Structure 1
Amino acid sequence: MTFQPTSGGLPLQLLRLVSPSQPVGAFAYSRGLEWAVHDRTVRDEATARDWIFRLIEHSYAVCDAALFLRMMHALEAEDRAAFLKADAWLSAARESKEVELEDKQMGASMLTVLRDLGVSSAKSFTTVKLTYPAVFALAAVNWKIAPADALRGLLWSAVEGQVSAAIRLVPLGHTAGQRLLIAAAEVIERAARKAEMTGDDEIGNAAPAMAMASAWHETQYSRLFRS
Structure 2
Amino acid sequence: MFSGGRKLACGLAVLVALFGLGAVAKTAALTRWDTAFDEQLAERRTSGLTWLAKAATDVAQTSVGVTLALLFPLVLWMLHRRRDAVRVLLTFAGALTLTLGAKVTVAEHRPPARLWAEVPDTAQSFPSGHTTIAAALALTLVLVVRGRARALAAVLGVLLTAGVALARMYLGVHYPPDVAGGVLSVTAALLLTVGFLELPPVVRRLPPRDRSDDKLREAAAASR
TM superposition score category, shorter chain reference: under 0.3
TM-score with structure 1 setting the length: 0.27
TM-score with structure 2 setting the length: 0.27
Q: Which has the higher helix share?
A: 2
Structure with the greater relative contact order (CA < 8 A, sep ≥ 6): 1 or 2? 1
Structure possessing the higher radius of gyration over alpha carbons: 2
